Amino acid sequence: MAPLKQKRWNFFAAVALLLALVLGVTGISQLNFSTEPRTDSLQLSSAPRHQVLRADRTELDGWSSLRSSPPGQESFRLDASDADKALYRVQVGIYSTNTYDLDLSVPSFAANGYLWMSWGDALQQYLDKNNLGLEDRIILVNELLSDADPGLRAIGAAERMPDGSYYQLFSYIGRFYIDRASFRHFPFITVSLPIVLEADDVDGIFEYGNLRFVPDVENSGVGLFSGIIGWLKRSWSIAEYRHTYATNFALGGAPAAYSTVVYDIAFGTSSWSAFWRLILPLVVVMAMVLLVFKVRPDEQDARAGIPITVLLTLVFLQQTYRDELPQLPFLTFLDQVYVIAYVVTLLAFVLVIWIGRRYHELEQLPKGHDYDVMAQRLHTMDEIWPLTVVALSSVSVALCWFTLPPGS
């Protein structure tokens, strides 16, 4: 009767575990929050834009520095027509001289450089009438509070150019918010460092139909010291967007929309550096799980201790790299790899206990056919465990990578 009772206990334990798993997944799903759909949007305009990006890398991970897809032919034609009718047109160029202090936990970065603008008589008349400088009506939208002087700092007064336009050079320095990074691909990550320029529409006259920015794609660029140690500079871009707010600011009518220039430098991690620093230690630790059944069967304590040691090491390793990242509402690629590692380690521990009990039963059996069959079965399990783990883990990791959303 003892074996029958034991089998019944094992069956009820498995049912209880499955029920607890279902209830846990159901409860977590009900507690999970959905994303608020009503947010601002950016749409590429018909203005000239610049992006330097290797095509093979784009095909590999889907990354683009641009915040939206290009407009269709009809939308492009209508937007270009509206741009020609705009009362105020401002050409904008940006040149980053220094980029530094990248902090993914916020996420933010520090930068300084130069920005220049040229504009026509209509805008200059508005500025003269209100005794303003252009820096009083143009802001850096994604600038954060910092010790540096906020906003743009004029370098000299506005100059009248031979073609009748006005030109002025500015410097900027500050800390800026990062809106895009491929955190899902971590540790093989690309991060976008943007400088976002937009009108501060205090008087309600600078909406998208009245004021349009034109990126100076020919003269904008990146300086000698715009790189960040430990990161590879991947691309830079500058483009005009239609920034549509999810509100009309209680003024009635359609949601407010403004012309916005986004200057962007994209950096990526070195794949080899990420492998040696984060992937290789995990591979070495998991190799111990592969070898757990190569320990002699009579050393049951040693067998059982290996998965426990590996589990504690996995927790420590994961916490180490998670400190580099902000709180994310999803699992990164490396998180998913660690989930696979946890499952494999748990299975190894369960099998160690189960096989240990079978070896104990084997010792009670007399020599004969039943003894040989059970001994061969246990030996086979010891032999196929490493191959099974390698095959299933490799397939699982590949599925995790290829199911990542492109560009995220």
Walk me through the domains of the chain, giving residue ranges and CATH numbers: 41-269 (2.70.170.10), 273-402 (1.20.58.390)
Question: How confident is the model at residue 371, as a pLDDT?
Answer: 66
Reading the block at residue 55, the tokens are 């095509």
Cα-Cα-Cα-Cα dihedral sign, residues 69, 74, 78, 84: positive
b/e map 314-336, b = 16+ CB within 10 Å: beebbeebbeebeeeeeebbbbb
* pLDDT mean over 216-223: 92
Task: Kindly indicate the confidence band of residue 1, based on its pLDDT and cuts at 50, 70 and 90.
Answer: very low
Statement: residue 227 has pLDDT above 80 = yes
Q: Give pLDDT tens digits for 229-252.
A: 889 988 899 999 999 888 888 777
**Residues 220 and 50 sit within 8 Å (Cβ to Cβ):** yes
Q: What is the DSSP string of 203-239?
A: SS--STTTEEEEE-TTT-EEEEE---TTSEEEEEEEE
Which pTM was predicted?
A: 0.81
Q: CB neighbours (10 Å) of residue 28?
A: 9
pLDDT of residue 55: 47
pLDDT at 168: 95
Cis before 329 (ω within 30): no
- Alpha helices for 62-171 (secondary structure H): 73-85, 121-129
